[in-house]
Amino acid sequence: MAVLKRTGMDNPVIWSFVLDDMISNFSGSLVPGACSLKVESNYRIDGFSSFNIAGTFGAGAEARYYSGKVKEGAGSLFFPYVLQGVEDTTGFTTGIAISSLEDEIPADAYCKLTLTDSAGNVSIYERTSMGKGLVWTFVLDSQMSNFAGTLLPGPCQLKVESNFAIDGFLFINVAGTLGYGSLATIQEGVTGDINADDKIGLEEAIHALKVVSGVSVSK
């Protein structure tokens, strides 16, 4: 974990930055790669993250807004569209990031992934050795050998269930180039208003997942 607290805001309406440029200002050490990012303030904010490859914009996603307290316990996410089994024929792959909303992963933590294809076939993978990392990222095709059940190559829906509070993000790549990103739908695991209009309170936060390059925080 690494923390940065900026106190000299100079009343900006929008604060945008490249994350790598700010890392030297954080206290703490991080393993290079995927992280979750939480932003807290004493005024109302919203945010957006963008993904860049060699200076070229690849994909972006709005931050998730939490005005309530994250409830520790069961979590459930839904991704309505993922792709599997078509990389050789189309070049498309799907990457998934599952991020814990709790400060520590429970010792008995698990994630259950359920894929359903366009014909209604179901395939399930339950990971019980989650380790201590707060972010699990993977390319879906690389995990298909762990799923029990046969699916038609192509589009599927993905449900993720866990015994700890989670959020999620997917990114679709074409021949190694990032093309699209989207947050998961949270079905369980958070209390309070999510992305609601009545964003009230001093300890309000946004949670941007799988941030690689650019972040924008708006008043």
SS (H, E, C) the chain: CCECCCCCCCCCCEEEEEHHHHHHHCECCCCCCCCEEEEEECCCCEEEEEEEECCEEEEEEECEEECCCECCCCEEEEEEEEEECCHHHHCEEEEEEEEECCCCCCCCCCEEEEEEECCCCEEEEEECCCCCCCEEEEEHHHHHHHCECCCCCEEEEEEEEECCCEEEEEEEEECCEEEEEEECEEEECECCCECCCCCCCCCEEEEEECCCCEEEEEC
The model's confidence at residue 109, banded by pLDDT at 50, 70 and 90, is very high
The model's confidence at residue 3, banded by pLDDT at 50, 70 and 90, is confident
The model's confidence at residue 65, banded by pLDDT at 50, 70 and 90, is low
- So what's the pLDDT on residue 139? 92
Is residue 74 pLDDT above 70, yes or no? yes
Mean pLDDT of 145-168: 93
- So what's the pLDDT on residue 25? 84
| pTM over the 0.75 mark | no
